[in-house]
Amino acid sequence: MAYDFDLFVIGAGSGGVRAARIAASLGAKVGIAENLYFGGTCVNVGCVPKKLFVYASEFLEQQEVAKAYGWSQAEPEFNWPTLRDNVKSEVGRLNKIYLSLLNNAGVSIKEGLASFVDEHTVSVAGKNYSAEKILIATGGWPKRPSFSGAEHVLTSNELFSMPALPKRVLVQGGGYIAVEFAGIFNGLGVDTELCYRGPMFLRGFDEEIRTFVAEQLSNKGIELKFNCDIKSIVKADDGTFVVEFNNGESSSYDAVVSAIGRSAKTDALALEKAGVELDKRGFIAVDEHFQTSSKSVYAVGDVIGRVQLTPVALAEGMALAKYWYAGEPLTVDYGNIATAVFCQPNIATVGLTEEQAREQGKSFDVYASNFKPMKHTVSGLDERMLMKLIVDKDTDLILGAHVVGEASGEMVQSVAVAMKAGATKSHFDQTIGIHPTAAEELVTMREARA
């Protein structure tokens, strides 16, 4: 049968664009559909604008640090529209780059909402397109809570375009997004509270890291409410939002942000028409070749819910395209994926936590260092750093590395490379550190924790 395309991709985010570009460069006739924004969540309402907001949120504290180093200055004044609009401009620039990348690769772009007609056909803006293979790369979407008054909450999608910066904000949630935005608001001078239904946020991270970060955020002025959740929200006559918590307490805020997780963005796809099934979590179920329950339909990225990180979606999209059109083995290594949380101070981690190593029956040593970084010996700020290595006693391999502190992501990226190469603690010990840096602590920790 003759198809309009060899490959049709639904979703022009990280995974979809990478797959489309690689496939087209290898000779495939490729189409792609996007109804919202090119570059996906990461470029538009995720990683990129969030990191820019993080930078903005650090300057107020740096002004205080500067005073201890001899810089006298007028009191800083923050202008929210300047930040918002400058970030919007940068996002627009990146949108155009993604569009150019697709055009230059020869990918046929269809703007509009795509849905399945059958397992080889999609409809976009009233027109049908057939393809030998169809790749779903629609990503995720913020979950919305279901309590009374939930219509009043903001999600991460809306935060980058708020008309005004609130004076007092409540953030609901305990994952990356909630913790990062609590830090952003606090750094911008907003009176910030975070509520999380569990006993400690950042579930899945090393327990010591979680506790340490909670202490650091509290020291910076964020009020943390654990074992606490929102029961209801009522909008008052003055425009503020009265939140009643499940512990009986209530308080008023100018804005309430809900960051309780993300779900697969599949509602508009009409998956049933192509015979595509979801797993029990609501993500698209795929096998080791990213094939869905339909033989002609595949999926990558956040929509499959494996590891919801932009670099993972990129790796999956590229590997699949090369497997199809270059005959390369389909291998995506999910082991030792480094990740970071851009709160203040930052968290970066790769490999096993202490708890995971114990659960796996590993015999291991822990090397840890909790210290005040050199900058703050003069600044007077109470911020501290924590570094932690999990080392296999039998093989001396580094099983996990965890850092909390300024530029921790920059450090752990290099550690991740070393771990992929099979680095041992002896290799770390034999490495001469760069002095004076915080990073040298990673190669100078000599005594295992008793």
Q: SS3 for the chain, per residue?
A: CCCCEEEEEECCCHHHHHHHHHHHHCCCCEEEEECCCCCHHHHHHCHHHHHHHHHHHHHHHHHHHHHHCCCCCCCCCCCHHHHHHHHHHHHHHHHHHHHHHHHHHCCEEEECCEEEEECCEEEECCEEEEEEEEEECCCEEECCCCCECHHHCECHHHHCCCCCCCCEEEEECCCHHHHHHHHHHHHCCCEEEEEECCCCCCCCCCHHHHHHHHHHHHHCCCEEEECCCEEEEEECCCCCEEEEECCCCEEEECEEEECCCEEECCCCCCHHHHCCCECCCCCECCCCCCECCCCCEEECHHHHCCCCCHHHHHHHHHHHHHHHHCCCCCCCCCCCCCEEECCCCCEEEEECCHHHHHHCCCCEEEEEEEECCHHHHHHCCCCCEEEEEEEECCCCEEEEEEEECCCHHHHHHHHHHHHHCCCEHHHHHHCCCCCCCCHHHHHCCCCCCC
Q: What are the extents of the domains in the chain?
A: 5-142+263-325, 150-260, 339-443
Task: Render each residue's pLDDT in the chain as its tens digit; 450 residues.
Answer: 799 999 999 999 999 999 999 999 999 999 999 999 999 999 999 999 999 999 999 999 999 999 999 998 788 899 999 999 999 999 999 999 999 999 999 999 999 999 999 999 999 999 999 999 999 999 999 999 999 999 999 999 999 999 999 999 999 999 999 999 999 999 999 999 999 999 999 999 999 999 999 999 999 999 999 999 999 999 999 999 999 999 999 999 999 999 999 999 999 999 999 999 999 999 999 999 999 999 999 999 999 999 999 999 999 999 999 999 999 999 999 999 999 999 999 999 999 999 999 999 999 999 999 999 999 999 999 999 999 999 999 999 999 999 999 999 999 999 999 999 999 999 999 999 999 999 999 999 999 997
- Residue 37: phi, psi to the nearest 5? -155, 140
Which pLDDT value is given to residue 76?
A: 85
- Residue 243: phi, psi to the nearest 5? -105, 125
Which pLDDT value is given to residue 421?
A: 97
Q: Return the active site residues.
A: 435
Fold category of 339-443 in CATH = Enolase-like; domain 1 (3.30.390)
| Total-model pTM | 0.96
CA atoms within 13 A on the CB side of 135: 34
Q: Do domains 5-142+263-325 and 150-260 have the same CATH topology?
A: yes
Which pLDDT value is given to residue 111?
A: 97
Q: Do residues 35 and 112 touch, judged by C-beta distance below 8 A? A: yes
CATH architecture of 150-260: 3-Layer(bba) Sandwich (3.50)
Which pLDDT value is given to residue 66?
A: 94
Assigned superfamily of 5-142+263-325? FAD/NAD(P)-binding domain (3.50.50.60)
Amino acid at 374: M
